[in-house]
Chains A and B, each alone.
Chain A
Amino acid sequence: MNITSGTEEEVTMDEIGTITDFIQDEAGHGLYLYSAMETLGKSRDQSLQELIDGKAKYSSIFNYPTTSWADIGAIGWLVDGAAIVNQVALQRTSYGPYARAMVKICKEESFHQRQGFEIMMTLANGTKAQKQMAQEALNKIWWPALMMFGPSDKESVHSQKSMAWKIKRQSNDELRQEFVDMTVPQAELLGLTIPDPDLKFNKKTGHYDFGPINWDEFYAVIHGHGPCNKERLEARRKAQEEGEWVKEAALAHAKKQRNLNAA
């Protein structure tokens, strides 16, 4: 299954269904949120166009390549896990349409997260090669997942205003810490090692301390220099370009029908 623009392979009959379902849910989430943006006066087409033109931002994580089945598991577990931490907080955001979209999204995301964790569990308890595949995926995705929460509070440009307006309810660093605290015991349960030598439980704070994030990499990726930025946007551009004649045809047909009905 050539899902999205990656190189994924199908695995079992059971999983090709769930994973396709998963991507479909995500496209649905895109729809809800673009619709929420419509309530602020920006049309869906405009939003998509800004994405394609490279003006709109999207999560830095999508600019990393997906190269193995374990990546699918690790993305579900960590990336959707991080998204949930963010989005659970956003259910209480001050803007109603955004908050309501988040309620539905959270339900589906937590299904994805559980599915991802289950994939990791199966691999971690599988053959040596499977366990290694799982560990490599964790190594690859751990740090980019932490970066998903955005720059540290000291550096974040938009945070102050968003917090004041209660759009954001918790700071980037708070959410990141919440994610680490939640995920470390899960990795232990899997018997996998988080790739951070500084990771340690801090009895005084009751939280896990973790090592420094490579912010140079983060800024490089959000400025278009991640391994897949160009491919990802190119895939969007291609879909739009190649779908143009289809949309034009649908409009032309609808207009003919309206004229017929009016006559």
Chain B
Amino acid sequence: MQNQASYITFLTRLADNNLILGHRLSEWCGHGPELEQDIALINVALDLIGQSRFLYQKIGDLEQKTEDQIAYFRDAGQFYNLLLCELPNEHFGTTILRQYLYDQFHYLVLEQLISSSDEFLVSYAKKSIKEVEYHVMQSKAWVIRLGDGTEKSHQKIKASLDKLWPYTDEFFMMDSVEDPLLEAEKIKKQWLVKVNQTLSEATLEAPEQTWPQKGGKWGKHTEHLGFILADMQFLQRAYPDAKAW
């Protein structure tokens, strides 16, 4: 078994991915291309934020903190989410592709955690995988629709793919924090098979991986995260005396 600090980092990475991506998705609330899509995106956002809470509460138990202290009183350097999760929404194509690339990875991670020896992670994974199964279905269907839709949609999502692809390698860069709990190589192999299948249905092709963008997992972020935190943490930071909201 790992030491506690490493276990907490493991949980924090999972939680931060979900919170930051959930926040990004919530920015679509009221702005989706159709009412149904608006509602669907926000459903996913709520699931992810809910999953992050489950993890922050566990971390809170271990560190004697509240979930709010963990979410609202850390600065960018103490967030350990994947860089992909903090990238801007841009248009619907970029958002839904970012979502698919993450959902597919997220699903495989949870699948492995279900058979881990850690009771908490098993319960977390069992609860979450039901939701993530649906997330994959939804984002995958849209990647295929846009890739295989019109010439315009094809070009747009192709450009999104070129832009997002360099951020996917970070998924599989696992270190001593994750090694005891996840098999990176296996996840990477399965992920590539699934993603290539989907891309081919979408008449797209994975670009060559040239220079991976990485750092979020170790607290080194893009310029975007600070703005997310400013938006997200404003009230708690502006009124630190308030005991409840």
Contact = CB atoms under 8 A, between A and B. Distances in A.
Tell whether A and B belong to one assembly: yes
A126 B150 contact: no
A163 interface: no
Interface in B35-56: 35-39, 42-43, 45-46, 49-50, 52-53, 56
B149 A20 contact: no
Interface stretch (A7-15, A149-157, A182-190): A7-15
A129 to B, nearest CB: 6
B26 A16 contact: yes
Given A24-B43, A27-B38, A127-B239, A9 B144 contact: no
Nearest to A126: B242
A262 interface: no
Interface string A230-253: 000001001100111111111111
Interface residues of A, number: 48
B26 A20 contact: yes
B33 A13 contact: no
A243 B30 contact: no
A94 interface: no
A4 interface: yes
A127 B240 CA distance: 10
B49 A16 contact: yes
B239 A130 contact: yes
Contacts of A27: 30, 35, 38-39, 42
Contacts of A3: 26, 29-30
Contact of A10 (B37, B52, B144, B232): B232
Contacts of B234: 9-10
A17 interface: yes
Interface string B41-83: 0110110011011001000000000011001100000000000
The interface residues of chain B, by DSSP majority, are classed as: helix
B49 A20 contact: yes
A127 B241 contact: yes
B97 to A, nearest CB: 12
Interface string A51-94: 00000000000000000010000000000000000000000000
B32 A249 contact: no
B148 A235 contact: no
A15 B37 CA distance: 23
Contacts of B49: 13, 16-17, 20
B35 A13 contact: no
B33 A239 contact: yes
A235 B145 contact: no
B242 A13 contact: no
Interface of B: 23, 26-27, 29-39, 42-43, 45-46, 49-50, 52-53, 56, 67-68, 71-72, 91-93, 144-146, 148-150, 152-153, 156, 231-236, 239, 241-245
- Which 3 pairs across A and B sit closest by C-beta, in order of nearness? A243-B33, A249-B149, A249-B153
